[in-house]
Amino acid sequence: MANMIKVGMADLNICRAPDAITTLGLGSCVGVALYDKNTKIAGLVHVMLPSSKEVRQNQNKAKFADTGIDLLIQMLIKAGARRTALTAKIAGGAQMFAFNSNNDMLKVGQRNVIAVKAKLNSLGIRILAEDTGLNFGRTVEFYPATGNFVIKAVGKSIKTI
């Protein structure tokens, strides 16, 4: 019986096939799924903020794009995944409210996506697919058995990337 492992906000975890891993209601946060297709091990981190360096309270590593992805890679390697085999799929980073002000607080979704991409790029991890931006929330599920990243949104049909 396959389990669905839940990852909360500013949280991360790993799983292996046939289990799957999910995070619910991503808004401006970004869900980063890393996957080794040979060992069928996957990890998911729910990133809230672009950088641990901009914030003093940065003990919770899973909260940030930079430290969250690093920690997830460590966990995956420990579980038997190969660092060089890792690929990524990402989703989220929406702008939930249609603000047109210059308020920096509100563009965090976009900044999260940029930070996640920059971090993955610097590590040489290829992004195979993404479903980011726009203005709606997403629930995501990653299935290491197939490498499918399933995205559900309110009033939209289910999307697999």
Partner 1 sequence: MQNTETLELDILKEIGNIGAGNATTALSQLINARIDMNIPKVAILPFNELAEIIGGAETLVAGILLSLEGDINGMMLFVLKSTAAHMLVNQLMGCGQPPSPETGGFNEIEESALREIGNIITGSYLSSISSLTNMLIVPSVPYLAVDMAGAILSVPAIEFGKVGDEALLIESQFNDMDVDISGYFILIPTMESYKRMLHSLGM
* Residue reference for tokens 């003093």: 56
108-129 burial, b for 16+ CB within 10 Å, e for fewer?
bbbbbbebbbebbeeeebeeeb
Whole-number minimum distance, CB 145 to partner 1, in Å? 24
Of 17, 106, 114, 161, the one binding partner 1 by CB under 8 A? 106
Beta-carbon contacts of residue 76 (< 8 Å; ≥ 6 apart): 14, 34, 36, 41, 42, 43, 86
Residue whose C-alpha is closest to residue 94's, from 79, 104, 108: 108
Active site residue 29: yes
By beta-carbon proximity to partner 1, the closer residue of 104 and 126 is 104
Token pair in block for residue 29: 């946060």
User: Which range, of 66-74, 95-103, 126-134, 140-148, touches partner 1 by CB under 8 A?
Assistant: 95-103
Site string for partner 1, 123-142 (x = CB under 8 A): ------------xxxxx---
Q: Which of residues 7-46 bind partner 1 (CB under 8 A)?
A: 8-11, 24-29
Say whether residue 157 binds partner 1 (CB under 8 A).
no
Report the distance separating Cα 70 and Cα 120, nearest Å. 10
By beta-carbon proximity to partner 1, the closer residue of 84 and 101 is 101
Beta bridge partners of 20: 4
Say whether residue 148 binds partner 1 (CB under 8 A).
no
Residue whose C-alpha is closest to residue 23's, from 38, 2, 44: 44
Say whether residue 63 binds partner 1 (CB under 8 A).
yes
Whole-number minimum distance, CB 32 to partner 1, in Å? 15
Count the site residues for partner 1 by CB under 8 A.
35
Residue whose C-alpha is closest to residue 146's, from 1, 3, 7, 20: 20
Catalytic positions are 29
Binding site for partner 1 (CB under 8 A): 8-11, 24-29, 48-49, 54-57, 60, 63, 94, 96-99, 101, 103, 105-106, 108, 135-139, 154-155
